[in-house]
Every structure is written in C-alpha cells, then in structure tokens.
C-alpha cells in the first residue's frame, strides 16, 4: 500500500520546518557533515506544536559539479524541547541530493513515526566532504482519528556502512541481479529505499533508475517496493521524489532484504540502503 502523505485528508495540520520562508534552491536548515563521523546536530524543528504522527524529511543542496558526495543524515529528537538529541532515524543516504528548485526538490523520505508535541527535532550528517547541505522537515499532525493511525517508534537502516550503501550493479535492458543488503534485527512494518552514486564516479549519466526492494531468501522473494524512481543528471544531481516515499509490509526479525535496479541509459555505480520502521 503506497502512502502519499502530502495533502492527505486524514491530517488536519502539517508543520513545515521552514515556516513562511520563501522557497529557495537551498531550502531548509544548514547542516554541516562531519568527515568520517557524524557532525553536530542542527535544530530543524524547534518545537512541535502538536503530536506528530508522520515525519517527512527533505535533503537538498548536496550536489557538486564533477563530484560524488557520499553523505548520510540522521534525525534526532529531544522530547523535552532541548538540544540533548536522541538518535531516532539513522543513516539516510543522500549523496548528490539536487537543489530544492530542481524538479523533484532533492531527496525525500517519509516515516509514520510518533513524536510528542513540544519535541525539538534535529539533523546531523557525515560525508566524504564537509560542505554544508540543507535539511527540511514536514511534521504531519492532528489526524482525524488518531486511534486509527498506525505509527512506529523506531527505524533501522539495512545495507549502510560508513558513508556508503551497498554496491548494486544495475541492469539496463533487463533487471539487474538481486543483491543482499542484510537482515532485519527487529519486527518492522514500514519500508523505504535510498540511493546514491559512488565517490569514484565524478561524471554521471542522465538516467531514470527503478529500484526494487524484496524480502525472502536466495530462491524465494516477496517484492515489497517496485520501481522506486530515482533520477540522476550530468550535473551530478540526484532526485528521489516524495511520491515513492514508502510502503507498509510486515516483516519478521531476521529476514533477509534484497534490492535490484534497472536504469534508462548507461549505468553508474550505485549504492543502495533500505530503512525499516517498527514499533
């Protein structure tokens, strides 16, 4: 089941981190990545006005000409409204995220996760370069029937190591081979996939890339995300639009997770990670 949270009628309020600030190419809060380790948290939403039942994350302005900026972003929360952040969402892969004013607006993720009113939400990053990026968030609040909203409490990343995801060889005229990302450690029910291009490639191809995510084993797989769409340009920019921002699928702990890819032109070296929410 595909969830499209933007404009969904079951939420009475959405709280954007950028408030009424005019949209720009670099939209959201400036976050400086650490080199080889996460840098300091930057405050993105100072205080939630209401309980949050879903959090949309946008990462943009992480592209550099003739460069691949391998980058991860994590999201932390201080429920008391201070700056003692507790990690909540780990390792969002976002290398090459396009400027906000490029069609698609960078890289998007959505998590149906509960965060209480009054909480401060921050972002920190690590990367192959320490050039500042931008992170924005949209908190989905005031559901028409809170008891009917399924919400999680934790997120785990699968297939992420250091600043990178798992190397995946894309197919072109046919689907690429399935690649094992790893296994779940807890029972989860909400899934997303992220992608970037390896730092060794500094001259990207213009491509549309479809990514499939599956669970199972070497012989039998259930495809839970099909054709998540990513776009790359010769300006070394990557877009993952919000319309492919996740699906519901109950998966037991200890389940293997696989991905495969197919692209519209000459393939670049792709790195992929998956995100599973539970609770």
- DSSP states of 174-217: SPPPPEEEEE-SS-EEEEEEEEEE-TT--SPPPEEEEEEEEEE-
Q: What is the pLDDT of residues 61-112, one digit of tens each?
A: 999 999 999 999 999 999 999 999 999 999 999 999 999 999 889 999 999 9
Percentage, residues of the chain above pLDDT 90: 91
Overall average pLDDT of the 214-239 stretch: 96
Q: Is residue 218 part of a domain?
A: yes
Residue 1 domain flag: no
pLDDT computed for residue 196 by the predictor: 98
| Confidence (pLDDT) at 10 | 80
The pLDDT > 70 percentage for the chain reads 96
Between strands 34-35 and 120-127, the pairing is parallel
Both 209 and 231 in a single domain?
yes
In a shared domain, residues 71 and 117: yes
Q: Answer whether residue 241 shows pLDDT above 90.
A: no
- CA geometry: angle at 63 spanning 59 and 67, to 5°? 140
Whether 197 and 144 map to the same domain: the answer is: no
CATH of the domain at 119: 2.60.120
Residue 4 CA to residue 244 CA, distance in Å, equals: 8
53 with 110, same domain: the answer is yes
pLDDT tens digits for 28-43?
Answer: 999 999 998 999 999 9
Number of folded domains that form the chain: 2
User: Is 215 a residue whose pLDDT tops 60?
Assistant: yes
Is 2 part of a structural domain of the chain? no
Q: Are residues 22 and 142 both part of a single domain?
A: yes
Residue 7 has pLDDT above 90, yes or no: no
| Position 53 in a domain | yes
Measure the CA–CA gap between 9 and 129, rounded to whole angstroms. Answer: 40
Query: Within this chain, do residues 139 and 160 fall inside the same structural domain, yes or no?
Result: no
Handedness of CA 237, 242, 244, 245 (dihedral sign): positive
DSSP three-state, residue 261: strand
50 and 127 co-located in one domain: yes
User: How far is 186 from 194, CA to CA, in rounded Å?
Assistant: 20
94 and 19 part of one domain: yes
Looking at the fold, whether 225 and 271 belong to one and the same domain comes out as: yes
Verify that 27 and 100 share a domain, yes or no. Answer: yes
User: Given 88, 118, 148, which residue is the final one in a domain?
Assistant: 148
Domain C-terminal end among 107, 132, 148 = 148
Main-chain phi, psi angles of 235, to 5 degrees: -90, 10
Residues 236 and 113 in one domain: no
- CA dist 244 to 12, 70, 98, 104, 195, Å? 22, 21, 16, 11, 13
**How many residues are given for the chain?**
279
- Domain with 70, as residue range(s), is 11-148
Tell me whether residue 219 is in a domain: yes
Non-local (6+) Cβ contacts of 223 within 8 A are 212, 213, 214
Residue 243: what pLDDT?
Answer: 66
Task: For residues 249-268, give the mean pLDDT.
Answer: 98
Residue 72 in any domain: the answer is yes
Please say if the pLDDT value at position 236 is more than 70.
yes
Whether residue 179 is contained in a domain is answered as yes
**Domain stop point among 148, 170, 201:** 148
266 within a domain of the structure (yes/no): yes
Decide if pLDDT at 3 tops 50: no
Kindly state whether residues 134 and 256 are assigned to the same domain: no
């Amino acid at each position: 089941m595909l969830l499209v949270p933007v404009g969904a009628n079951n939420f009475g309020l959405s709280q954007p981190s950028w408030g009424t600030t005019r949209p720009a190419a670099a939209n959201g809060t400036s976050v400086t990545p650490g080199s080889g380790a996460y840098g300091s948290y930057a405050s993105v939403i100072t205080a939630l006005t209401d309980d949050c039942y879903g959090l949309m994350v946008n990462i943009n302005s992480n592209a550099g000409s003739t460069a691949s900026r391998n980058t991860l972003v994590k999201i932390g929360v201080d429920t008391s409204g201070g700056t003692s952040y507790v990690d909540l969402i780990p390792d969002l892969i976002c290398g090459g995220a396009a400027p906000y004013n490029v069609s698609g607006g960078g890289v998007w993720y959505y998590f149906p996760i509960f965060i209480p009113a009054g909480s401060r939400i921050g972002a920190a990053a690590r990367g192959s370069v320490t050039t500042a990026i931008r992170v924005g968030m949209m908190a989905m609040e005031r559901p028409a029937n809170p008891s009917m909203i399924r919400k999680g409490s934790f997120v785990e990343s699968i297939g992420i190591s250091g600043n990178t995801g798992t190397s995946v060889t894309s197919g072109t005229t046919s689907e690429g081979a399935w690649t094992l990302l790893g296994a779940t450690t807890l029972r989860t029910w909400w899934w997303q996939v992220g992608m970037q291009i390896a730092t060794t490639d500094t001259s990207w191809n213009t491509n549309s890339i479809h990514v499939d995510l599956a669970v199972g084993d070497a012989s039998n797989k259930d495809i839970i995300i099909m054709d998540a769409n990513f776009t790359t340009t010769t300006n070394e920019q990557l877009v993952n639009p919000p319309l492919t921002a996740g699906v519901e699928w109950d998966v037991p702990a200890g389940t293997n997770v696989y991905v495969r890819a197919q692209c519209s032109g000459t393939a670049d070296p792709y790195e992929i990670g998956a995100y599973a929410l539970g609770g």
